[in-house]
């Protein structure tokens, strides 16, 4: 049974960017008003109670120490960083903070966004789980936190006890997910529109419109999410239909109408879009990308990718890559 309200700690620490915490609290306050009762309770927490000097010279008050706040969930914001070296420095400057997050009970959900995801990873709260982070940190986090299943091509990732999102506005998809769960999809749409930090827009025309946000209708959105999570070899119509609670025939018909292509081709494009995103935003070898995404063979992935884009993976990275 879900608790009547979720008690959510908004984490303050030296140098953190508090704007997202304040906006997150406002969204949940509005959700409570819309629901007519307290679905969410928020409070500012820190390693200790008291004043915390945040970014931009702002000083905010931590109402309770993290260890004694009795939380259901913790939201970890990001900090200003222009390089992986600056991220390493922030970790070195905050060992007590990382330890305090690590010592939270296993039942406490840890939600993080932007560079705050690195703090959650350092605290081992993302081990053996899929997670994402701001795209330019992709290679750095893969090297530093190999126990995490990094899926940088995704803007947000949700697990039973963790959530992670990219960008300084990454608190928005986290707020959206839990407002929709507690209230409804329509309730969230009444409160705000989804606003995640846009990634660099350069990509092949074959992948334009291939995103979860761009899908019309709940079935197409759910299909996109399920297909992204599945290894490519397992993303068959039969398996997808079973996961979505429908029949192969119905799924094929609805996808054909919505995507204007056969369902199998659309699912293949979703998986190849993941390849595209990793080629653009990381330096991982194509062979590693193929294995991570569950393609039957590296050669098969490269053949399908070239058939769709007209480019080899190396040519694609050279033209569109950010590295």
Q: 118: Cβ–Cβ under 8 A, 6 or more apart, which residues?
A: 87, 90, 91, 133, 137, 141, 145
Which structure tokens are listed for 22?
């304040």
* 205-320 and 6-191 share a CATH fold: no
Q: Which DSSP letter does residue 236 get?
A: -
d(CA 214, CA 223): 12
Give pLDDT tens digits along the chain (323 positions).
455 789 999 999 999 999 999 999 998 998 888 787 899 999 999 999 999 999 999 999 999 999 999 999 999 999 999 899 999 999 999 999 999 999 999 999 999 999 999 999 999 999 999 999 999 999 999 999 999 999 999 999 999 999 999 999 999 999 989 988 888 776 776 665 443 344 555 778 888 878 765 677 888 988 998 999 999 999 999 999 999 999 999 999 999 999 999 999 999 999 999 999 899 888 999 999 999 999 999 999 999 999 999 999 999 999 988 75
Write the CA distances from 55 to 9, 11, 140, 255, integer angstroms. Answer: 19, 13, 23, 46
Instruction: Give the pair of three-digit tokens for residue 251.
Output: 């799924």
CB burial readout 61-76, b (16+ within 10 A) else e: ebbbebeebebbbbbb
Which of 262, 221, 210 lies closest to 244, judged by CA?
221
Q: What is the pLDDT of residue 216?
A: 76
CA end-to-end span of the chain = 47
pLDDT of residue 196: 39
| pLDDT at residue number 195 | 37
Query: DSSP label at 200?
Result: P
Residue 113 and residue 92: Cα distance in Å, rounded?
A: 19
Task: Tally Cβ neighbours within 10 Å of residue 119.
Answer: 26
Tell me the C-alpha distance between 174 and 293, whole Å: 24
Distance (Å, whole) CA 52 – CA 169: 22
How many beta carbons lie within 10 A of that of residue 122, not counting itself? 22
Give the CATH number of domain 6-191; options: 3.60.20.10, 3.40.50.300, 3.40.50.880, 3.30.70.260. 3.40.50.880
Category of 212 on φ-ψ map: left (φ > 0), alpha (ψ -120 to 50) or beta = alpha
CA–CA gap between residue 50 and residue 52 (Å, rounded): 7
Q: Which two tokens stand for residue 188?
A: 């969230």
Token pair 């010279």 is found at 57
Q: Is the model's pTM score more than 0.75?
A: no
- Give the Å distances, CA to CA, from 285 to 100, 272, 314, 317: 36, 15, 9, 10
Domains of the chain, by residue range, sit at 6-191, 205-320
Contact residues for 133 (Cβ-Cβ < 8 A; gap 6+): 114, 115, 117, 118, 121, 141, 150, 152, 164, 166
User: Cα-atom radius of gyration of the chain, to the nearest Å?
Assistant: 20
Q: Phi, psi (5° rounding) for residue 306?
A: -70, -35
Q: Are 187 and 27 in contact (CB under 8 A)?
A: no
Count of CB atoms situated within 10 Å of the CB of 21: 22
Among residues 138, 256, 276, 159, the alpha carbon closest in space to that of 210 is found at 276
Q: Considering only the top CATH level, what class is 205-320?
A: mainly alpha
Token pair recorded at residue 192 = 């705000």
Q: Which of 180, 156, 187, 159 is nearest to 169 (CA)?
A: 156
Residues with Cβ within 8 Å of residue 236, at least 6 apart in sequence: none
């Amino acid at each position: 049974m879900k608790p009547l309200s979720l008690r959510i700690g908004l984490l303050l620490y030296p140098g953190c960017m508090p704007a997202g915490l304040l906006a997150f609290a406002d969204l949940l306050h509005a959700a409570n008003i819309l629901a007519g009762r307290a679905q969410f309770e928020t409070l500012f927490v820190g390693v200790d109670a008291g004043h915390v000097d945040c970014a931009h010279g702002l000083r905010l008050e931590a109402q309770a120490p993290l260890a004694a706040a009795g939380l259901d969930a913790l939201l970890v914001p990001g900090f200003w960083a222009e390089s992986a070296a600056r991220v390493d420095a922030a970790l070195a400057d905050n060992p007590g903070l990382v330890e305090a997050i690590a010592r939270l009970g296993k039942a406490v959900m840890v939600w993080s966004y932007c560079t705050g995801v690195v703090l959650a990873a350092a605290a081992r709260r993302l081990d053996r789980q899929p997670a994402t982070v701001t795209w330019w940190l992709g290679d750095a986090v893969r090297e530093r936190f190999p126990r995490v299943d990094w899926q940088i091509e995704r803007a947000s990732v949700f697990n039973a006890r963790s959530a992670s999102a990219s960008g300084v506005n990454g608190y928005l998809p986290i707020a959206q997910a839990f407002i929709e769960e507690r209230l409804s999809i329509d309730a969230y749409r009444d409160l705000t529109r989804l606003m995640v930090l846009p990634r660099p827009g350069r990509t092949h025309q074959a992948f334009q419109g291939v995103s979860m946000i761009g899908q019309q209708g709940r079935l197409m959105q759910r299909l996109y999410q399920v297909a992204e999570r599945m290894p490519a070899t397992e993303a068959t119509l039969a398996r997808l239909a079973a996961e979505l609670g429908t029949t192969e025939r119905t799924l094929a018909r609805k996808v054909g109408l919505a995507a204007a292509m056969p369902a199998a081709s659309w699912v293949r494009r979703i998986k190849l879009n993941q390849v595209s995103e990793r080629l653009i935003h990381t330096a991982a070898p194509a062979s590693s990308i193929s294995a991570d995404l569950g393609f039957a063979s590296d050669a098969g992935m490269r053949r399908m990718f070239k058939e769709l884009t007209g480019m080899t993976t190396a040519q694609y990275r050279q033209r569109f890559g950010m590295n």
